[in-house]
Structure 1
Amino acid sequence: MNAETFTEAAGSSRLSLRVADVRREAEDIVAIELVDPNGGALPTFEAGAHVDVFTPGGAVRQYSLFNDPADSSRYRIAVLWDRNGRGGSRSMHEAVRPGGILQVSRPRNQFRLAADAARHVLVAGGIGITPLLSMAEVLLRQGTDFALHYCTRSIERTAFLARIGEKDLRDHVHLHLDDGAPDQRLDFSALFEGESNEGAHLYYCGPSGFMAAVEAAAAAATWPAGRLHCEYFAVAPSARPADTAKGFVVTLAKSGIDVPVGPSETVVQALQGRGIFISTACEQGFCGTCITGVRAGLPDHRDTVLSDAEKARNDCFTPCCSRSLTDILVIDL
C-alpha cells in the first residue's frame, strides 16, 4: 500500500511518513529522509517542489525536497536551525529521530525548471541550495547544460559537500565562501554579464539579503524577467509600506456572503471569524498554500509566490497577506 493509499484511507490530505534517517550535513543543518512506513512509492514531484511539514513543536514549515524526483521511494529535506526563528526548526533538530512519524503535505511546486531553456544557471545562498540541488540532479540526468553557484558563509556551514564533490556533479559546481579569498566570491554583476546567452535561464534561492543582491544585479543587467526564477524562504521585503488603514469587503461568490475585513486583519482572519477556513501554511505569502480565485475586484498583491504575469491577471490572490484595491473583492469560495 503506497503513501497515497494510506493517507486517503485515513481521511486526510496529509502524508504520514516514517523518518528513515537524520544526519548532520553541516553546522546547524540536518538532512532528514522520509519514507512510506509500508515501503511503497511516494506521490511524485518535480524539481523545485516543497512540502509543508507539521513540526513536533506544532508549527507548519515549508521545506524543499533536495533529492532527484526520479527516486519515488523517499523525500529528502534539509533543516537549518534558525536561532532567531519561532521554534519550528528547533523542534525539527531536537525532536525528529529515526523511526518517528512526521505529517507532511503532498509536494507543491511554484519553482520549476523552464522547459525551453538552452542553459540553466542555478544560484544558491546557504540553505537555498535545497531546491537547486534537486534541479541539478534532474539536469545532470538529462545531460542538459547547467552551472550551480553555491554561496555559503564557510566550509563548516556548507551542506552536501560530499554530493557536490562527486565526479558527475563537481565540474558543474562553483563554490563561493564568504570567509574565503576575495577572488572566489561570487560577483553577481559579472555572473549576469557572463551568462548573456539568450537561451539561459537563471534560478536563485537563499536568504533575503542574498535575494536582494541577485535582483539588483539582474535589474542592472536588464536581464529579462521571463528568464529569471526564484523562491523565497521568507517573506520578501516590500518595495512599498503596507497600507492597511482601509478596510474592505470580501464577497463569497458561491454563497453571496459578505465578510468585512478590518484595517488590521487579513482576509484569512476575517473569514475565520465567520467560521470559514482556508488552508494556510506560511501566512506570509511565499508558499502558495492559500491561493484563491478572484471573480471581481482588484486584489492588492503582497505575496512573493505569484509571478508578475499572474498578478497582472488579477484572477487569484493570497488571502493570508494580500488585500484589496477596491471596496469589494469577490472571491471563488
Structure 2
Amino acid sequence: MNTIPVRVAVADTIAQDIRLLKLEANDGSSLPGWKPGSHIDLHLGQGITRQYSLCGPQGDTSAYQVAVKLEPQSRGGSKYVHESLKVGSELLISPPRNHFEMKADAGHTLLVAGGIGITPIISMARELAEKRQQFELLYFTRSEHHAAFREELEGGPLGESCKLLCGLERDDVEEALEGALDDRYDGSQLYLCGPKPFMDTVRAVAVRCGWPDEAVHFEYFAGAEPVGQGEQTSFDLKLARSGKTVTIPANKTIVDVLREEGVEVETSCEQGVCGTCVARVLDGTPEHHDCFLTSQEQARGDCMAVCISRSKSRLLVLDL
C-alpha cells in the first residue's frame, strides 16, 4: 500500500483521555481529498498499524486531523499516540479510505455517536449543516469532560441539531434512542459509531423501531472488541489462483498461515473492523467473526474478513 510521510504539527488534549493530532505532509504538499466517514492508517512503528477516522475540516488538504482515545487495555496503538507522539514526530500514514460514506439523497439523517465514535460522525454533521440538510445528532458520553468537540457541538450550526447526553444509565440510553428512532421519516438514514456494546444497543433499538437494514449504517472503531470466536477447529484453505492448499490450525488465523507460506494479504486493523482484508469466497461456508460486513453480506457467504473469520466447512476456497 502507498504511504505518505507526515509530521505531527499539533498534539492537543481535547477531552479526558482524548488526544487530537494534526498531521502535515513532510514535504509541505497537499494531502489527498476525502469525504466524511473516511479513515487513515497510522503506522506507529514496531509493526503497529491503527486506523483512525478523519475529523478535521473536510476541505483542508494542508493537514489531516485524528482524535485518539487512550484505551485502558491498549495493545500499543493508543498508548503510543498518547505517550510517544509529540509535535515534530514523523510517521507514515495511508491515503484515506471510506467504508462509511453517507448517502447523498437522504431526506433526513440521524447521527448517533458513543464516546470516541464521534470522530467520523462530526464530519458528517458538518457536511449536512453546510448543505442545510435535515439531521439530528445524538452524542452519548460518560461525562461532559469526556466529550470531544464539545464547544463546536454545543454552538453554531451543529448545536442547533445536536443533543449531548452525558452519564446515562443503560435504560436511559435506550429510552433516549427510542425517542429519536421511533418516528422515522420516509427516506431517513441512520449512521452510528462507537464501542461495540453501545452499537449493539443502538442497532437493537433500530430493529424494534422498524428501521430497515438498508437504512442503518455503522462503523465499529478499531478499539472495539472483536466478536467472540468460541471453540475453534482446524480447516483446509485452498487458494484458487495458485491451487495451493494449506491447513489453518485452531490456534492461528488465515492471515497468520498465509504469511508463513509467503502469501501477502493486505491487512490493517486485524480485528475484523476495517474491511481491508475482505476476500471473495468461491466455495465453502465462512464462519464470520468480523464487525465490518453487514448481516446480509455475512448471510450470502460470498466474502469474508480473513484476518479474524474462519470456516464452518472442512474446505474453504478463496479468490487469493
Structure 2 length normalisation: TM-score? 0.92
- Which runs of structure 2 are paired with 1:1-333 in the superposition (5 Å)? 13-56=2-45, 58-178=47-167, 187-194=176-183, 196-233=184-221, 234-235=223-224, 238=227, 242-245=230-233, 247-333=234-320
1:197 is aligned with what amino acid?
Answer: Y
Cα displacement (A) at 1:186: 6.3
Match of 1:320, SS state, is: coil
Q: Is the 8 A contact 2:236 2:248 kept in 1?
A: yes
CA distance in 2, matches of 1:254, 1:179: 52
Contact 1:56 1:92 in 2 (8 A): no
1:79 deviates by 0.8
- Where does structure 1 lack aligned partners over 5 or more consecutive residues? 1-11
Question: Hey, what does 1:8 align to over in structure 2?
Answer: none
1:303 CA displacement:
0.9
Deviation at 1:163, TM superposition (A): 1.9
| Distance in 2 (alpha carbons) for counterparts of 1:161 and 1:228 | 25
How far, CA to CA, are the matches of 1:93 and 1:286 in structure 2? 22
Corresponding letter in the other structure for 1:96: L
Quick check: 2:69–2:78 contact (8 Å CA) kept in 1?
A: yes
SS of aligned partner of 1:286: coil
The percentage of counterpart residues that share the same residue type is: 38
In the TM superposition, what is the alpha-carbon distance from 1:174 to its structure 2 partner?
A: 0.8
CA distance in 2, matches of 1:57, 1:25: 27
Instruction: Give the distance between the partners of 2:99 and 2:236, measured in 1 at CA.
Output: 29
CA distance in 2, matches of 1:167, 1:287: 32
Mapped partners of 2:111, 2:68: distance in 1: 20
What is the rounded CA distance, in whole Å, between the counterparts of 2:89 and 2:160 in structure 1? 37
Counterpart Cα distance in 1 of 2:185 and 2:191: 15
Cα 1:96–1:235 change in 2 (3 A) is closer
Query: Which runs of 5 or more residues in structure 2 are unaligned?
Result: none
Q: CA RMSD in A?
A: 2.3
- Whether the aligned pair in 2 keeps the contact of 1:68 and 1:138 (CA below 8 Å) is no
**Amino acid in structure 1 at the alignment position of 2:202:** V
How many aligned residue pairs are there? Answer: 318
- Residue aligning to 1:4: none
Change (3 A) 1:257 1:56: closer
Q: TM-score, normalised by structure 1?
A: 0.88
Counterpart CA distance in 2 for 1:241 and 1:320 is: 12
- Which letter does structure 1 place at the counterpart of 2:190? L
The alpha carbon displacement at 1:86 in A equals 1.7
Distance 1:325 1:122 in 2: 36
Distance 1:21 1:161 in 2: 19
Q: Is the 8 A contact 2:226 2:289 kept in 1?
A: no
- Is residue 56–residue 95 contact of structure 1 (8 Å, CA) maintained in 2? no
- Mapped to 2, the partners of 1:297 and 1:285 lie a distance apart of 20
Pick closer, same or farther for the CA change 1:166–1:39 going to 2, 3 Å: farther
